[in-house]
Chain A
Amino acid sequence: MTQNQALKEFQFQPDDFKLARHQDVSVVEQITPARPAWKDSVNLFLRNKGAVIGICCIVIITLFAIFAPMLSSWKYDDINTALQNIAPNAEHWFGTDTYGRDLWVRLWQGTRISLFVAVMAILIDVVIGVTYGMISGYFGGKVDSIMQRIQEVINSIPTLVVLTILLMVMQSNLFTIILALAFTEWIGMSRITRAQVLKTKEEEFVLASRTLGASSFFIIFKEILPNIYSQMIIMIMMSIPNAIFYEAYLSFVGLGLPIPEASLGTLINDGFNTLTITPYQMTIPVIVFSILMLSFNLVGDGLRDALDPTMKEM
């Protein structure tokens, strides 16, 4: 009992403990140079070999698509029945097709259109898809419900039906195809964006911005957008081959490009019919198409990593 009492009464004196060391300013281990964030991203992108190769391939293919048809002595719709299905030779570098048209010119002419469709697909994704998804996700509530219902209605109409209706009032050309793409292509993108925005807007750093009085505009573009880049880039890269194939499919069923025109898709489809007799007619466009797809994916991966600051140490 007395021992217990003594224990309870035991008190530490103020000078029992001494402050070991007092350090309030942290030491800087390494000096980070002051440069804008975009320069970091460019450096990081250039360090990624795959992405650089990818962007080189895209540039080379684009240059060919622009200049090859201009510089060649043949035209993409010159029919010469005397020169049907000729194998590649010095005069016709990639041979000729069933109607005796030069495939070198047709290939690059087709690449031109496919690239154009790809660029339009990116634009549609970014302009319509991302904007729609962001507004719907960020503002939420009633706005979100209404926008989601509208999107579901649009998504439930088959694109083919839309295109057939469009063709009744419009001519069958590239513009009609782009319009049909614009009608449904953005829905996947807007869904991904909305989901990401819903997730990101609950983060504490967004709350912090709000307590500083940030406007919705500021929060969307400066706080949320940089955090959802990677998902968006992946989505965009996936939608490019989709768009190119969709165009080929439409041309195949006769709703796409008018006959003498060419795209990579139509060339592959035409070549496929005579694959066992004239394999070069399909192989060459497929190779170009594959290189293009691979390059887009490599560039997409490179972009995603370059925009992520947590990757910088590696």
Chain B
Amino acid sequence: MNEQPILEVKNLKQYFKVSRRFTVKAVDGISFKIMPGQTYGLVGESGSGKSTTGRSIIRLYKPTEGEIIFNGKNISGNMSKDELKLLRTKMQMIFQDPMACLNPRRKVMDIIAEGLDIHHEYENEQDREKKVYEMLELVGLSKEHAHRYPHQFSGGQRQRIGIARAFIMHPQLIIADEAISALDVSIQAQVVNLMKKIQKKTNTAYLFIAHDLSMVKYISDHIGVLHLGHLVETGTTEEIFNNPIHPYTKSLLSAIPEPNPRVEKHRKSQTYDYESSGINYLEGTKHLVDGTHYVLATDEEFAQWTR
């Protein structure tokens, strides 16, 4: 592929200073690329730094170290006004909790039009209304919903409102921070299908953060496995699912429930414990398996795992 990546993260580090002596290393040097119109799934357990990565990229936090290149511009340092505006319009976020991410005191119309209001991207009242109605239609809601308050909707509908709010700016990259984790399973499928449908239509790239591997497998083109702030394995979905190298990835994959109840009965999940495994992420380096499939390991570990 000789296309320019829409987002390139190079050696991103995000530390939080808790006190004078103690610093939390939430994200510790991760690198990946996202191509336009593609979906990159970021998986890992709770506290592995998935959400922090997303928030650092959209600059809710100031990255401690590393580079974030969005659309050919470095956005990890101090930004100029134009760069900031580009970031705030062309990169959007969908949040985890559909109950908390919509202001309970504002009507859906105002919530969705918020981006337009902030960047003054409409000509008159009718134009604003028309754009909001278009977005509502895109996410499978109807015009009449625009004049209601968030508490009058179900969880799935609220998440659609959240998606509409993000897409009204016609973003090139959407960071979906556990966008479906708070929904029940039947609604998850609806929302994921909706996101895929919109992606086909608009060629938007997704950074899809989740802990549910089966969903990630369904939506992603590339997958990155994050553990304790380190990207332990990354590659295309096929590479990761067909040939997992890292023991942590293997344990994650073995935890996916099988739809076939007879097979599920005999499924054994592998356990992985960082403390007792003898693996030190800090000593590991990136090893190429094949294609775009990389794994974080020392030379000995790599030889042992790929044997």
Interface on A for B, CB 8 Å cutoff? 4, 7-8, 10-12, 24-26, 28, 31-35, 37, 203-205, 207-215, 218, 222-223, 226-227, 229, 307-310, 312
Contacts and interface: CB of A to CB of B under 8 A. Distances in A.
B266 to A, nearest CB: 6
Contacts of B84: 213
When A and B form their complex, which 4 residue pairs have the shortest distance between CB atoms, in order from nearest?
A213-B88, A226-B105, A204-B100, A204-B101
Given A213-B119, A310-B149, A203 B100 contact: yes
Report, as a range, how many residues of chain B touch the other chain: 35 or more
Given A12-B259, A213-B89, 17 more contacts: A8-B263, A12-B260, A25-B141, A26-B140, A26-B157, A34-B147, A204-B96, A204-B97, A204-B101, A208-B93, A211-B91, A212-B165, A213-B115, A223-B103, A226-B103, A227-B104, A308-B105
Interface in B107-125: 107, 114-115, 117-119
Contact of A212 (B92, B142, B148): B92
Contacts, number: 105
A215 B262 CA distance: 56
16 contacts: A7-B265, A10-B262, A28-B145, A32-B147, A204-B97, A207-B101, A208-B101, A208-B102, A211-B88, A212-B88, A212-B118, A212-B169, A213-B88, A215-B118, A223-B103, A227-B104
Interface in B169-200: 169, 190, 193-194
Contacts of A10: 260, 262-263
B165 A208 contact: yes
Interface of B: 58, 60, 84-85, 87-89, 91-93, 95-97, 100-107, 114-115, 117-119, 140-142, 144-149, 151, 157, 162, 165, 169, 190, 193-194, 259-260, 262-263, 265-266
Contacts of A309: 104-105, 149, 151
Contact of A24 (B89, B104, B157, B190): B190
Contacts of A308: 105
A85 B145 CA distance: 68
Nearest to A307: B105
B54 to A, nearest CB: 10
A11 B263 CA distance: 9
Given A24-B190, A210-B60, A227 B105 contact: yes
A300 B101 CA distance: 29
B266 A7 contact: yes
B97 A26 contact: no
Contacts of B104: 227, 309-310
A205 B102 contact: yes
Given A24-B194, A205-B100, A208-B165, A214 B148 contact: no
